Chains A and B, each alone.
Chain A
Amino acid sequence: MKFDTPATDNPIDQLKIIGKPTDRVDGPLKTSGTAPYAYERHDVVPNQAYGYVVGSAIAKGQIASMDLKEAKAAPGVLAVVTAASAGMLGKGDFNTAKLLGGPEIQHYHQAVALVVAESFEQARSAAALVRVQYTRSKGNFDLAKSLDGAIKPPASFGAEADSRFGDFDAAFASAPVKLDARYTTPDHSHAMMEPHASIASWDGDKLTLWTSNQMIAWSVGDVAKTLGIPKEKVRLVSPYIGGGFGGKLFVRSDAILAALGAKAAGRPVKVALQRPLIINNTTHRPATIQRIRLGATTDGKLTAIGHESWSGDLKGGGPETAVGQTRLLYAAPNRMTAMRLAVLDLPEGNAMRAPGEAPGLMALEIAIDEMAEKLGIDPVAFRILNDTQVDPEKPERPFSQRRLNECLTMGAEKFGWKDRSPKPGLTRDGRWLVGTGVAAAFRNNINEKSAARVRLDRNGMVIVETDMTDIGTGSYTIIAQTAAEMLGVPLTQVEVRLGDSLFPVSAGSGGQWGANSSTAGVYAACMKLRTAIIDKLRFDPADAVFDKGKVRSRGKSIALAKAAASGEIVAEDLMEYGDLGQKFQQSTFGAHFVEAAVDAATGEIRIRRMLAVCAAGRILNPKAARSQVIGAMTMGAGAALMEELAVDKRFGFFVNHDLAGYEVPVHADIPSQEVIFLDEVDPTTSPMKAKGVGELGICGVAAAVANAVYHATGIRVRNYPVTLDKLIDKLPDVA
Chain B
Amino acid sequence: MSVAAVSVASPSTVVAVPNKAAARPPTARVAFNVNGTAHDLELDTRTTLLDALREHLRLTGTKKGCDHGQCGACTVIVDGRRINSCLSLAVMHDGDMITTIEGLGLPGNLHPMQQAFVVHDGYQCGYCTPGQICSAVAVLDEIKAGIPSHVTADLTGAPTVTRPELRERMSGNICRCGAYSNIVDAIVDVAGGKA
Closest residue on chain A to residue B43 by CB atoms: A121
Stretch from A9-17, A268-276, A494-502 forming part of the interface with B: A268-276
Given contacts A245-B176, A659-B68, contact A33 B23 (CB under 8 A): no
- Range of interface residues on B (Cβ < 8 Å): 35 or more
A35 to B102, CA, bound (A): 11
Query: Does A243 count as interface, using CB distance less than 8 angstroms?
Result: yes
**Inside 8 A of A624's CB, which chain B residues have their CB?**
121
B114 within 8 A of A: yes
**Interface presence of B24 (CB below 8 A):** yes
B42 at the interface (CB under 8 A from A): no
Could you say which of A364-372, A582-590, A661-669, A677-685 contacts chain B? A661-669
Decide if B159 is an interface residue (CB 8 Å cutoff): no
Q: Which residue of B lies closest to A191 (CB)?
A: B176
Q: Please determine whether B128 and A193 come into contact, CB atoms closer than 8 angstroms.
A: yes
Q: A30-B126, A31-B110 are in contact. Are A666 and B181 (CB under 8 A)?
A: no
* B25, closest chain A residue (CB): A75
Main SS class of interface, B: loop
Q: Does B39 belong to the interface (CB within 8 Å)?
A: no
A667 near B184: Cβ-Cβ < 8 Å:
yes
Q: Are B179 and A631 in contact (CB under 8 A)?
A: yes
Interface stretch of the complex, out of A20-28, A97-105, A422-430, A647-655: A20-28
A23 touches B110 (CB 8 A): no
Q: A119-B44, A191-B176, A275-B70 are in contact. Are A29 and B54 (CB under 8 A)?
A: no
A19 within 8 A of B: no
Known A37-B127, A240-B126; judge A660-B68 contact (CB<8 A). Answer: yes
With contacts A40-B54, A193-B125, A634-B180 known, is A28 near B107, CB below 8 A? Answer: yes
Q: Which of B60, B71, B108 contacts A33 (CB 8 A)?
A: B60
- The residue that A32 contacts in the complex, of B46, B110, B173, with Cβ under 8 A, is B110
Contact stretch, chosen from B5-13, B77-85, B140-148, B163-171:
B163-171
Judge whether B58 is part of the interface by a CB distance below 8 angstroms.
yes
Inter-chain contacts of B71 with A (CB < 8 A): 193, 275, 659
B43-71 residues at the A interface, CB under 8 angstroms: 44, 46-47, 51, 54-55, 58-68, 70-71
Most buried by B among A40, A122, A272, A626: A40
Q: For the complex formed, measure the closest distance between the CB of A71 and the CB atoms of chain B, giving whole angstroms.
A: 14
A to B CB contacts below 8 Å, 13 in the list: A27-B123, A28-B114, A30-B123, A31-B130, A193-B63, A243-B125, A245-B176, A275-B65, A275-B70, A630-B180, A666-B170, A667-B180, A668-B171
Docked-complex contact A243 and B64, CB < 8 angstroms: no
Chain B residue nearest in CB terms to A32: B106
Indicate with 1 or 0, residue by residue over B89-113, a CB within 8 angstroms of chain A CB atoms: 0000000000011101111101000
Total interface residues in chain A, CB < 8 Å: 67
CB contact under 8 A between A27 and B117, given known A193-B175, A472-B126, A472-B177: yes
Q: Taking CB as reference atom, which chain A residue is nearest B51?
A: A120
**Given A28-B110, A31-B110, A31-B117, also A632-B125 (CB < 8 A):** no
Is B65 a contact partner of A671 (Cβ separation < 8 A)? Answer: no
When chains A and B are docked, how far (Å) is the Cα of A243 from the Cα of B184? 20
The answer for the CA separation of A120 and B64 in the assembled complex, in Å, is 13
- Asked if residues A195 and B178 are in contact (CB atoms below 8 Å), the reply is no
Give, as a whole number of angstroms, the nearest-CB distance from B28 to chain A. Answer: 13
Query: Is there a chain A Cβ closer than 8 Å to B191's Cβ?
Result: no
B121 contacts A633, CB within 8 Å? no
Closest to A666 in B: B171
- The reply to whether B123 and A634 form a contact with Cβ atoms under 8 Å apart is no
Rounded to whole angstroms, the CA-CA distance of A387 and B171 in the bound complex is 40
Complex-state Cα separation, A27 to B182, whole angstroms:
14
A471 at the interface (CB under 8 A from B): yes
Whether A580 is near chain B, meaning CB under 8 Å from some CB there, is: no
Knowing that A32-B114, A660-B68 are A-B contacts, what are 20 other residue pairs whose CB atoms are under 8 Å apart, sorted by A's residue number?
A24-B121, A27-B117, A28-B108, A33-B130, A42-B60, A76-B25, A119-B55, A121-B47, A192-B127, A194-B63, A242-B125, A245-B176, A274-B67, A275-B65, A626-B121, A627-B121, A628-B124, A633-B178, A658-B70, A667-B180
Please give, as numbers and ranges, the residues of chain A lying within 8 Å of B183 by CB-CB distance. 667
A171-196 residues at the B interface, CB under 8 angstroms: 190-195
CB nearest to B59 among chain A residues: A33
| Residues B125 and A472 in contact, CB atoms below 8 Å apart | yes
Q: Is A333 an interface residue (CB 8 A)?
A: no
7 closest residue pairs by CB, A with B = A33-B61, A634-B178, A242-B127, A472-B125, A472-B124, A30-B126, A631-B178
